[in-house]
């Protein structure tokens, strides 16, 4: 799972950026993926990339409303890439 430092660097936030707000964005991104059926995964760089991407988007767009508050389609599409799939044998596969 991504660290706060990784999320801060990904967002391009300076070290003096509000760590509490960025931490909230990181937690929200992890929960967003969990609610979309993507379990948290340790040591999975692809998962970390997408969680940091969403956390940075939340951080950059905090306070946005209307259409600006919609998660971008490329992030929504990442759910399909990260979600584990059932194979014909019933074994969970995917990334």
Distance (Å, rounded) from C-alpha 78 to C-alpha 81?
5
Task: State residue 53's pLDDT score.
Answer: 95
Distance (Å, rounded) from C-alpha 71 to C-alpha 60?
12
Helical (H) or strand (E) element with 92: strand 92-93
- Structural domain span for residue 47: 4-93
Residue 85: DSSP 8-state: E
The number of folded domains in the chain is 1
The predicted model scores a pTM of 0.80
Computed over every residue of the chain, the mean pLDDT equals 84
């Amino acid at each position: 799972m991504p660290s706060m430092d990784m999320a801060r660097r990904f967002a391009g936030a300076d070290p003096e950026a509000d760590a509490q707000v960025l931490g909230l964005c990181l937690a929200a991104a992890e929960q967003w993926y969990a609610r979309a059926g993507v379990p948290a995964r340790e040591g999975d760089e692809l998962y970390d990339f997408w969680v940091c991407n969403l956390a940075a988007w939340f951080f950059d767009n905090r306070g946005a409303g209307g259409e600006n508050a919609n998660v971008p389609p490329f992030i929504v599409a990442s759910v399909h890439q990260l979600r584990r799939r059932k194979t014909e044998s019933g074994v969970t596969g995917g990334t």
